Amino acid sequence: KGMAANTKNSFKFVVVGGGIAGVTCSEQLASQFPSADVALVTAAPLIKAVCNFKQVSKTLEEFDVEEKPSTVLEEKYPNLRVIQSAVEALHAQQHTLLTVDGLKVHYEKLCICSGGRPKLLTQDNPNVLGIRDTDSAQEFQKRLSQAKRIVVVGNGGIALELVYEVEGCEVVWAVKDNAIGNTFFDVGAAQFLIPTLNTDKPERAATCKRVRYTIDGLGQCRAFEEPGSALGPDWHEGIRLRGAEEVQVLMSPCFPTTFCQCSKASFSVQFPAPVGSWPVYVELTNGKTFGCDFIVSATGVVPNTEPFLHGNNFELAEDSGLRVDDHMKTSEPDVYSAGDVCTASWEASHLWQQMRLWTQARQMGWYAGRCMAADVLNETIELDFCFELFSHITKFFNYKVVLLGKFNGQGLGLNQELLVRCSKGLEYVKVVLSGGRMVGAVLIGETDLEETFENLILNQMDLTPYRDELLNPNIDIEDYFD
């Protein structure tokens, strides 16, 4: 009711974006300042809320995400108003936003949490799809139900999930690396996971046909009008990812042909002139051309900065995210940013790196809210502990996956030693040591090692004397370091 009286659309705090970052930030502000007017301006009709939050260890967290109508937020926080409209322009000097509905919103402090959108191979081909939000996932599902063959390009999180989940449709997976899942895994972990593609998925074993997995090529294993929030864990659950035919996963570890000799940035797939009856063809650098019903471009995300830039002086990072400092502040006064749209530009802990993930969206949104509050109250605030150590829990190919620190030896060059333990079909454990200290780990399966390894990474103990015991399966490592 208090909000209804605010006809001037002037707010102490305004947050843009109803994804995890924006919702967490606005909830933080609305609960810390119950008498201040807070607005959440978001393009999509539904917001994303964190539920069943569980702090698994010092830095590891798990939670579910629910899509809810925005009224739920307004009911919970009487001082929070949700404005469903896309922001069209920002005038940072005047502290105002304009929405596509012609609404002018005034703020004292603003946090931009507008997320990202798929970095598509090409924008103009209706047969090249990206997956980001509920709408795009539904479009994908609709097209898949009629499809006999699709080509998946990209080797990150979405591609990994798709090739595992899609059934009843031939999948050509064009991978330019020599192993799968390059954003999360090294070759060893990839080798561990690959046989899973060849087995029935547990929950569907009774009903589905056996997946045939063939290896092709050289490899060793070898509408952005009203963008919705990014999907997240288990986005494919409840969506039937089934094509029109029998199942075959065909992996082509090769480079799409028109991959320029130079940098990846100039990469583009060309669509050769049709020679058959498929709606679209893709030519790969192993010399093969595949016709397919459509191509999924699972090639990363681009920060949604567009409506905020014009006429303002935002510093952008190389990946075109809004640069934020260790207080989540952008280069414009009173403008903060969190989640996929921003790029952490502070001197990060040597054990942390930004990855555009659900968990980091929540952590950044929450911390940005606290920083905005601290600024208003003239209080000092230290960089939150969650930015000390990179940690991520997820699931790939139905295995629990925990990633800690420099899990792929990021930035370590030759200054690293890897210890690996692997039981086929059961677990894969990799530890990254640098100068005798643990700096990262990949844990696949029910290893139960995450807490002990997290502690060993955080306390930077010299493990040189223990390196032979560290992964010895006959030693209870938790007791050992107790």
Ligand X SMILES: Cc1cc2nc3c(=O)[nH]c(=O)nc-3n(C[C@H](O)[C@H](O)[C@H](O)COP(=O)(O)OP(=O)(O)OC[C@H]3O[C@@H](n4cnc5c(N)ncnc54)[C@H](O)[C@@H]3O)c2cc1C
CA atoms within 13 A on the CB side of 174: 29
Least separation, in Å, of the C-beta of 306 and ligand X? 7
Look at the block and give the residue holding tokens 């295995």: 399
Residue 155 interacts with ligand NDP (CB under 6 A)? yes
156 binds, among ligand NDP, ligand X, none (CB under 5 to 8 A by kind): ligand NDP
Q: Which of 29, 231, 280, 458 binds ligand X (CB under 6 A)?
A: 231
Yes or no: say if 83 and 74 are a contact pair by the CB < 8 Å rule. no
- The residue range among 87-95, 152-160, 208-216, 421-429 that interacts with ligand NDP, by the rule CB under 6 A, is 152-160
Residue 267 interacts with ligand NDP (CB under 6 A)? yes
CA 86 to chain centre: 22
Q: Which of 323, 356, 370, 406 binds ligand X (CB under 6 A)?
A: 356
- The residue range among 27-35, 350-358, 422-430, 443-451 that interacts with ligand X, by the rule CB under 6 A, is 350-358
Least separation, in Å, of the C-beta of 298 and ligand NDP? 4
CA angle 282, 288, 289 (to 5 degrees): 30
Q: Which of 22, 154, 256, 409 binds ligand X (CB under 6 A)?
A: 22
Characterise 449 by phi-psi region: left (phi > 0), alpha (psi -120 to 50), beta (else). Answer: alpha
- Distance (Å, rounded) from C-alpha 215 to C-alpha 228? 36
Give 311 or 411: the residue with its C-beta nearer to ligand NDP. 411
- Distance (Å, rounded) from C-alpha 288 to C-alpha 251? 12
Residue type, 453: F
Yes or no: say if 366 and 25 are a contact pair by the CB < 8 Å rule. yes
- The residue range among 239-247, 351-359, 442-450, 473-481 that interacts with ligand X, by the rule CB under 6 A, is 351-359
- Distance (Å, rounded) from C-alpha 308 to C-alpha 112? 9
Q: Which of 171, 292, 361, 402 binds ligand X (CB under 6 A)?
A: 361
State which H helix or E strand residue 15 sits in: strand 10-16
Look at the block and give the residue holding tokens 């005798």: 436
Give 9 or 229: the residue with its C-beta nearer to ligand NDP. 229
445 binds, among ligand X, ligand NDP, none (CB under 5 to 8 A by kind): none
Q: Which of 158, 351, 372, 401 binds ligand X (CB under 6 A)?
A: 158
DSSP-assigned letter for residue 338: -
Look at the block and give the residue holding tokens 């937020």: 73
Q: Which residues bind ligand NDP (CB under 6 A)?
A: 153-159, 161, 176, 182-183, 264, 267, 298-301, 355-357, 394
Q: Which residues bind ligand X (CB under 6 A)?
A: 16-22, 41-44, 48, 86-87, 113-116, 131-132, 157-158, 227-233, 235, 304, 307, 339-340, 356-359, 361, 394
